[in-house]
Each structure stands twice: as structure tokens, then as C-alpha cells.
Amino acid sequence: MRDMTLADIDAVCAIEQLVQPYPWSRGNFTDALGSGYRCVVDEVVGQIVSYAVLMPVLDEAELLNIGVAAAQQRKGLGKAMLDAQMQWARTQNMQRIFLEVRVSNLPAIALYRAVGFIEIGMRRGYYQNAAGREDAMAMACELNKEAQVKLHG
Ligand SMILES: CC(C)(COP(=O)(O)OP(=O)(O)OC[C@H]1O[C@@H](n2cnc3c(N)ncnc32)[C@H](O)[C@@H]1OP(=O)(O)O)[C@@H](O)C(=O)NCCC(=O)NCCS
């Protein structure tokens, strides 16, 4: 796993176009890099297969995007990438990571739950979809063990 660079954006966008119903544009990735967000990629035999974008905000962060090439899904790459982003956030003394996910995106929700995210709310009609609008599930993961115990009871 390594930091994403501008030179990676074509390869990242090629995956994004295939795996996301409403893909980020080239400009979205360029802006994320330019804003200093933590953008990482992972490679298999020299080919980019996964990427993730984390936006730090003081002592919290928001996971803005994560994708794994279709042929490489369900091999643990998404989890590895998320674990690495969470580990990095801990080294920056961040307390928690937030994200929003389409309620229909069951693979992503399963992944987020698998690494410790829990549902904290619902945003009605947050996303556009073929039927008009779709709800977003808001999720959070406490990075510090004591806070996690409180949250999970
Ligand atoms: C969501 C996504 C990143 C998961 O990546 P992945 O590399 O396939 O996931 P992993 O192999 O690391 O899966 C880790 C765990 O998540 C859960 N999971 C992942 N994909 C799943 C699926 N399709 N169905 C059910 N559970 C799933 C499982 O618990 C899995 O563990 P297991 O394989 O031991 O059962 C990938 O499906 C993807 O790129 N989707 C399109 C882009 C997207 O929706 N991104 C999120 C919104 S921005």
C-alpha cells in the first residue's frame, strides 16, 4: 500500500467507473490529493487494484471513497485498506472515523461492520439513484478502545 499520486488517477478512475454507480470524476480525485486528504492505493503485480480516500478534520476523519477492482473483490483488499487508514488515523491521534453509505450497498456496509463501524443515523434521500433519491446510512468507528467499549456497551 502506498500514497496515491497524480500519475495514479487514470488507473484509479478506470476502476471507479466500473465499480461505483455514481463514480468520482478525475477532478474529484485531483482535488482530494490537492487538499491533502489521505489517498492511498494498493497494487497487485504492479497494477492498481484498490484505493481509499480519507478526509482528516481535526481529531476526526471521514472516509470519502473506497474501491476495489471487481476481479479482486472479496479477497480482503478492502478490509486491508480500511485497516491501514484506521491505523494511520490512530497514529495522528484521531478519535473516530465517520462515513455515509447507500443503504443498498450491502457489500460496503458488511465491510464497514467487519472493521468496527456501527450505524449512527440515517440521512433521508441523501443520494441520487435510478429511482430518484436513496437514503444514506451514517456510520462511525471509534478508534480508541475505551470509547469503543462505551459505544458498544
Ligand atoms: C465494498 C468493497 C470496497 C469491499 O472490498 P473487498 O475487497 O471486496 O472486501 P473484503 O474482501 O476486504 O471483505 C471484507 C469483509 O467485508 C464483508 N464483505 C465484503 N464484500 C461483501 C459482499 N459482497 N457481501 C457480503 N459481505 C461482504 C465480509 O464480511 C468480508 O469478509 P469475508 O470475505 O471474510 O466474509 C468493494 O465491494 C467495492 O469496491 N465495491 C464498490 C465500491 C463501493 O461500493 N465502495 C464503497 C462506497 S464509496
List, in order of start, the domains of the chain with CATH numbers. 2-152 (3.40.630.30)
Q: Which of 16, 37, 51, 112 is catalytic?
A: 112
Q: Is 43 a catalytic residue?
A: no
**d(CA 68, ligand 1 centre) in Å:** 8
pLDDT digits over 22-40, tens only? 999 999 999 999 999 999 9
Confidence of residue 118 (pLDDT cuts 50, 70, 90): very high
Q: Which of the following is catalytic: 60, 62, 100, 134?
A: 100
Q: Can 100 be counted among the known catalytic residues?
A: yes
* DSSP assignment string, 25-58: PHHHHHHHHHTT-EEEEEEETTEEEEEEEEEEET
For residue 71, what pLDDT band results from cuts at 50, 70 and 90?
A: very high
Residue nearest to atom 41 of ligand 1 (CA): 19
What's the pLDDT score for residue 72? 97
Kindly list the strands in the beta sheet with 96-102, ordered across the sheet, starting from the edge strand earlier in the chain: 2-3, 38-44, 47-57, 60-68, 96-102, 132-142, 118-129
* Matching residue, cell 473516530: 96
Ligand 1 mean position, distance from CA 5 (Å): 24
Alpha carbon of 111 to ligand 1 centroid (Å): 5
Per-residue pLDDT at 151 exceeds 70: no
Q: Which three cell numbers stand for residue 38?
A: 489521505
Q: How confident is the model at residue 45 (pLDDT cuts 50, 70, 90)?
A: very high
108 Cα nearest atom in ligand 1: 1
pLDDT exceeds 70 at position 152: no
Tell me if 34 sits within 8 A of 72, measured CB to CB: no
| Reported pTM | 0.95
